[in-house]
Amino acid sequence: MSLPDVEYIRPESMDELLSHMNQYGDDAALLAGGTDLIPRLKMGLTKPHVIVSLSAINGLSSIRQTAQTIRIGALTTIYQLQRNPIIYTCYPALYEAAVSIGGESIRHTATVGGNLIQDTRCMAYNQSKEWRASFNPCLKQGGHICNAVKGGRRCFAAYCGDLAPAFISLGGLACLISKEGEREIPLEALFAGDGRSPFSMRRGELLKEVILLYSKTKGGYNKLRIRNTIDYPLASVALSSDQKEKGRLVVGAVGPCPLTYEFSSYRQLKLLTEKIDKDTIPIANRPLSPLYRKQMVKVLAEELIKNLGNSPS
């Protein structure tokens, strides 16, 4: 597998970048750390006309604190995120999610934005061109069938990002920027819920930063995987609450987008697990049985809830 021939542009200012983004739209692929893009390029899963590098863009890789918010730039590496004392102290769900990503060398390269806007995954899709030649193109490839589940009519490729459930559990906002300007939306609104086309962003838009309310939260992140490092989650749960028992529980990696559940007391939180169990319908497009992954969501959630009850205020 080698990289295809494709044009490479390296804009040196935000204006230049946004101009290119506007011009090319979906024909451009953004290159930050590349840990999601490069494998997909090599496998022939994505065929952009141009790669737009973000390596010369300044101002997007810092974690800034204002009076009320923490603003995490999209080009912040995962390593920078995990090393930041505010993240560690105030947002345990986010910290635990960050340190669970890949392995240490990946975390030095991968970025917050890249981790958030990663494509959905499926064992029948994330394969080389030669491998996929045995099958007709699947729904995610623009075809008419699902190669993971016979007779499937919708694409259930799973969203496997670790940071998104954590950010969403913290009520994070996504700041999107384009030639038209900036807008802020709740991070969960970024997800279209479609395995084929997971994000609802406008043409020419890119993620600039994630905004969190500056406050001390409680919670954590549990990730189901086979090995203790490297692997993507097969199911995940992020839980965050403020000091007044109000917060969110978010389920990840069992469908095309994270599932968000709000609660305003721990009593309410404990009752959520039944609903979560009903909503969780993973399919056989990842390793381990779907029934097991479904059962584990409840186990992961209950452990986080129990720890929440035990943690000091």
Partner 1 sequence: MSELNHVTKGIQRMDGEFIVTGRAQYAVDIRLSGMLYGKILRSPYPHARIKDIKTASAEKIVGVKGVVTGKDIGHRRFSFIDTPAYPAEETPLAVDKTRFIGEGVAAVVAVNEEIAAQALNFIEVEYEELPAVFDPEEAFQDGAPAVHDVIEPNTTTAWEDFGIPKKLRPYKVVNNISNKTLIENGDVEKGFKEADYIREDRFVIPATSHVAMEPHVAVASYQPNGNLDVWLSHMGYEHKRFWFAKLLDIPISKVRVHKTYVGGAFGGKISFFPYEFIAAYLSKITSRPVQVTLSREEVFSACPPSRRMIITVKTGVHREGRIIAQDVKVIDDVGAYRNSSPTAMYLTHVFRNPIYDIPNVRHEAYGVYTNKLSTLAKRGHGLPQMSFAVESQIDMICEDLGLDKVEMRLKNFRKKGDVLPNGDTLRSYALPQCLKQAAEKIGWKGKYGRKRLRGLGIGTASMFSGAHNFPFASAAMVRLNHDGKIILFTGQTEFGNGVDTVMAQIVAEVFNCNIDDVIVHSGDSEVCPHDIGNWLSAGVFVSGKAVMNAALDLKGQMLTYAEEGLRTPIDQLAIVQGRIVSWSDKMKCLSFSDISKYAIQKASGDPLIGKGFSKCVPEVYFWREEFNKMGSLSSGKGRFTEAYGFAAATAEVEVHPETGAVKILKIVVADDCGTPINPAFVEGQVLSQAVMGIGDVLFEEVLMKVGKVMNPGLLEYKIPTVADIPEILSIIVDSYEPKGPFGAKEVGENSRAAVIAAIANAVCNAIGTRLYTLPMTPDRIRQVLGETVGT
Footprint of partner 1 (CB under 8 A) = 1-2, 103, 123-124, 127-128, 130-131, 133-134, 224, 226-232, 287-289, 291-293, 295-296, 299
Q: Give min distance, CB of 51 to partner 1, in A.
A: 18
- Rank residues 25 and 103 by Cβ distance to partner 1 and give the closer one: 103
- Rank residues 227 and 278 by Cβ distance to partner 1 and give the closer one: 227
List Cβ neighbours of 132 (8 Å cut-off, separation of 6 or more). 125, 141
SS (H, E, C) the chain: CCCCCCEEECCCCHHHHHHHHHHHHHHEEEECCCCCHHHHHHCCCCCCCEEEECCCCCCCCCEEECCCEEEEECCCEHHHHHHCHHHHHHCHHHHHHHHHCCCHHHHHHCEHHHHHCCCCECCCCCCCHHHHCCCCCEHHHCCCECCCCCCCCCCCCECCCCHHHHHHHCCCEEEEEECCEEEEEEHHHHECCCCCCCECCCCCCEEEEEEEECCCCEEEEEEECCCCCCCCCCEEEEEEECCCCCEEEEEECCCCCCEEEEECCHHHHHHHHHHHHHHCCCCCCCCCCHHHHHHHHHHHHHHHHHHHHHCCC
Q: Give min distance, CB of 1 to partner 1, in A.
A: 6
Q: Give min distance, CB of 134 to partner 1, in A.
A: 4
Q: Give min distance, CB of 220 to partner 1, in A.
A: 16
Q: Give min distance, CB of 112 to partner 1, in A.
A: 21
Q: Give min distance, CB of 247 to partner 1, in A.
A: 23
Q: Give min distance, CB of 27 to partner 1, in A.
A: 22
- Rank residues 65 and 131 by Cβ distance to partner 1 and give the closer one: 131
Q: Give min distance, CB of 308 to partner 1, in A.
A: 18
- Rank residues 14 and 43 by Cβ distance to partner 1 and give the closer one: 43
- Rank residues 229 and 268 by Cβ distance to partner 1 and give the closer one: 229
- Rank residues 62 and 127 by Cβ distance to partner 1 and give the closer one: 127
Q: Which residue has the tokens 């700041």?
A: 175
In angstroms, rounded to a whole number, what is the distance separating the alpha carbons of residues 156 and 194?
7
Provide the β-strand partners of residue 238: 221, 250
Which of 145, 105, 153 is closest to 124 using CA atoms?
145
- Rank residues 273 and 295 by Cβ distance to partner 1 and give the closer one: 295
- Rank residues 2 and 313 by Cβ distance to partner 1 and give the closer one: 2
